Structure 1
């Protein structure tokens, strides 16, 4: 075992000299073998070893006896020792999580704390080759994501250092032989022998069948894991380049947009990974409520002929398609209609922070969609004015067009996103005539240069 593990450590550069190494030790054969091995190379590498032992509060006196056993070994071997109690049953009840997931979350939280407290360079854990096979089989059963086949990583970041797994290159049997050869009498957790948990079932029922077909299946799985990790790392660099070129991030609103035509011009493998990268960014971490049905709906939506579609995702995340643009955004509340009176002269602030200012003037400055002038003496408008959102059946007379046109059709012609239409401001006079679809379309009451020398100016200022 020593030779294999030493070669594995050097191949993957798992440690550096004179490092502070924290070791997670439960008292079982795997972690005791790891601790014995690291203690054996401690002087050569100049390690400071700190043993971390956790009572998860799941097996009463047995759990406490495990901690006491590890503590006694550390005293014998003159090793630094840290212990803690984690109330997994209470955490599990409050969070509504499985026993294994609750224990894992609390355990890794404590590991991170200890890495920071002790300024640790490495946290060494005792996952081995059989664990790798079990994990990859479980993920193959449960997931269709190729990245799941990366399995248990050899190393990854944790707190201010690295989490490393030096025993992934050896089997459970080799660990048992190592313990026997070195007189290690480990503690045993009876729950590991039950088939209640999926992992235990795979360990006892599935892995032995695989071993019959290929006694070196653990080595094959580890090589597959390493190659998948390398391939994924390369693909992810391409995905990041793709995302940077195609996707617009609005960090202040936690919102992203992209043009469908540009997005779909890239290989599908990059599109799929970009979708997951988007969700990682928006959620900070992927939620359990997301599944591959959402991914299928996403790709169906971007290839759909429908111009305006919205899809709901967990935690009020919306994915909307507006013509050839996709937008992901959080919607805390439904868009609210509003009605506000606009004094003349005066101003009104709209719910989104934009404003409309009204004043009398004798000069016309510019001709943009954000300003409108009405002749005061032509009796074309009737004060007071109102600013409101659209209502069913709204129509307006548009310059250059005979008759009236539905506001809904104007929005469609102008390709206004569905979620913006409910909040779009309209200026209406006392008789209900729509004078201005603000910033978009002007009614027929706008000024004629020869009609008057006094105008009512309406200026629209967008929110920052």
Structure 2
């Protein structure tokens, strides 16, 4: 009975791996093991399959240092597990709490970012991160590797793949969380079975082979083989959204509506992944023909004549700034397509240009194309882009070049308290809302509340500048805004135009970062809420 139960689950995993071509003979596979049930089950299953699959296993562990001695015990457990099965171990110690404070990420996001950076480094993509901590699990000369037998750091022996223990339940929870938050087809794909990582020696990958297995099946498997695991108390903490979805929402939906609810959500993710891949390829073909750069010279008209018939009709650029470039889409062709095609083309235009478009902004652009805003109107878009509607075309106009930086236009605006200011360069608005003592506002965000007595009468909203310093929450000192953005990996136009708010000469607000508590009001007292809203009115 024992052999049949184990054999059945291992066979199911082997079939899934082969069908999706997740692992190949000869792969050196790093198995991400936290010490918890799912990752321990993944390791034990792959141990049974390694000869059949022709792979070499290496245990990979990240100590997040979030749970004190419990985190150290997890690391010791994983170390013993690797030693018991005579496997190499590659481990790192990271101060995730500090990383979260430095970057403004949530602790969950900072932990995920730390793991992914570590995995990518092990796969040799040339983007080796700086060590985020030190400890007994790191070797003396390399905090990202523990030495295996023979003293050679594991990561220097090359890993082809890193496998993680995301299960069908994780997939279902992720789909449900994204539906609750709001998402499109791309978001419904949720956890991908394979993420490719480019390295100097070719393509590597992070893969998730357990996406078709349930947690309870893995727990049963570990019980059958007598394998223990570590419990993480934070997985039961209701302050985390995923835990509330897992403990409260999914059980009700399975009990009251559909016992196979998790399986159906996982199927939805698989359908969305295939659909999105197909339409991405189709949209790339449309946009290759639909987008053209217009230069203000006499040859523009001749180039337009050479375009496909459906893509002709775009007007010549009339701008006097030779550094400004446009991308345009034939308006008549666009409006002759289905709504799905219209939306996809606009999304890909934005992606190629390097600025984000949410659903509301796409709908605004389509309304502009249909003439609902009137002829000649423009809309401000993120990162300084604008879109203009003419008789024949939608023209996407890039930010003009300046002497300070290519395609950069710094801005500086005054924000009264209370008041609102539009920032066309980034396509958003900033509000300062006065909240009287005792008033409970639905918009109240304690991380962005300020004591009115500590604020200047008028605030300054501008793009950040070299030398700007900001004091994030839970840190010991102010930090350079430049360093905060680098750690968040904000680049290009987005970084150049990143908004900050000053009271006098002090930077008190930076988009995406929580400020320290000294600026916050006492409970129940009057406050000023600073918040950013997407989108501005047509101009």
TM-based fold match above 0.5: yes
Q: Specify which of 327, 330, 341 is matched with residue 396 of structure 2.
A: 327
2:266 to 204, 222, 228: 222
How far the C-alpha of 1:208 sits from its partner, in A, is: 0.8
Distance in 2 separating the partners of 1:334 and 1:87? 35
Aligned to 1:10: 18
User: Does structure 1 residue 49 correspond to structure 2 residue 117?
Assistant: no
Equivalent runs, 1:451-462 vs 2, <5 Å:
none
Map 1:283-302 to 2 at 5 A.
283=354, 286=356, 291-302=358-369
CA offset at residue 250 of structure 1? 7.5
From the superposition, tell whether residues 249 and 150 of structure 1 become closer, same or farther in structure 2 (CA, over 3 Å): farther
Structure 1 segments of 4+ aligned residues over 6 angstroms from their partners: 250-254
Once residues 324 and 100 of structure 2 are traced to their aligned partners in structure 1, the CA distance between those partners, rounded to angstroms, is 33
Q: Which residue of 1 aligns with 2:94?
A: 86
> How far apart are the structure 2 equivalents of 1:328 and 1:200?
44
Q: Secondary structure at the match of 2:29?
A: strand
User: Are residue 313 (structure 1) and residue 381 (structure 2) matched?
Assistant: yes
Residue 168 of structure 2: aligned partner: 129
Per-residue CA distance 1:188-246 (angstroms, 9 max, x = gap): 11110011111111100111122223333333223222222222222222111111121
SS of match in other structure, 1:308: coil
Q: Tell me the CA shift for residue 323 of structure 1.
A: 4.4
8 Å CA contact 2:17, 2:209 repeated in 1:
yes
* Within-5 A mapping of 1:106-145: 106-116=114-124, 117=155, 118-145=157-184
Tell me the SS of whatever aligns to 2:383.
coil
1:127 Cα offset (Å): 0.6
Q: 1:163/1:323 Cα in 2 relative to 1: closer, same or farther (>3 Å)?
A: same
Whether 1:207 and 2:250 are equivalent positions in the alignment is yes
Q: Which one of the candidate residues 100, 106, 128 is aligned to 1:98?
A: 106
Cα pair 1:139 1:148 within 8 Å, conserved: yes
**Gap regions ≥5 residues in structure 2:** 1-8, 125-154, 296-322, 401-407, 412-539
The CA distance in 2 between the partners of 1:206 and 1:15, in whole Å, is: 34
Does the alignment pair 1:233 with 2:302?
no
Q: Deviations over 1:332-371 (max 9, x none)?
A: 2389xxxxxxxxxxxxxxxxxxxxxxxxxxxxxxxxxxxx
Structure 1 stretches of 5 or more lacking a match?
336-464
Paired residues for 1:67-78 under 5 Å = 67-78=75-86
Deviations 1:47-81 (A, max 9, x none): 12121100122222211221121011101111111
Q: Does the alignment pair 1:258 with 2:301?
A: no
Q: Is contact 1:255–1:282 with CA below 8 Å preserved after alignment?
A: no
Aligned to 1:180: 223
Q: Find the partner of 1:162 among 205, 212, 220.
A: 205
Distance 1:260 1:88 in 2: 49
Give 1:253 deviation, angstroms: 7.0
Counterpart for residue 427 of structure 1: none
Deviation at 1:174, TM superposition (A): 0.8
Name the structure 1 match of 2:233: 190
Instruction: Tell me which of 291, 294, 304 is aligned to 1:247.
Output: 291
Larger gyration radius, structure 1 or structure 2: 1
**8 Å Cα contact 1:242-1:270 kept in structure 2:** no
**CA, structure 1 residues 198+267, in 2 after alignment: closer, same or farther (shift >3 Å)?**
same
Match for residue 152 of structure 1 among 191, 203, 206: 191
Q: Count residues with an aligned counterpart.
A: 331
Match of 1:30 among 4, 18, 38: 38
What is the distance in 1 between the residues matched to 2:60 and 2:294? 43
Counterpart Cα distance in 1 of 2:388 and 2:106: 34
Shift in alpha-carbon separation, 1:8–1:259, aligned structure 2, 3 A = same
Kept in 2, the 8 Å contact 1:26–1:70? The answer is yes
Q: Is the 8 A contact 1:254 1:282 kept in 2?
A: no
Per-residue CA distance 1:147-198 (angstroms, 9 max, x = gap): 3222222223134312221111111111111111122211111110011111
The 3 A distance-change label for structure 1 pair 13 and 294 is same
Structure 2: how far apart are the matches of 1:95 and 1:319? 32
The partner residue of 2:353 within 282, 286, 290 is 282
Partner of 2:441: none
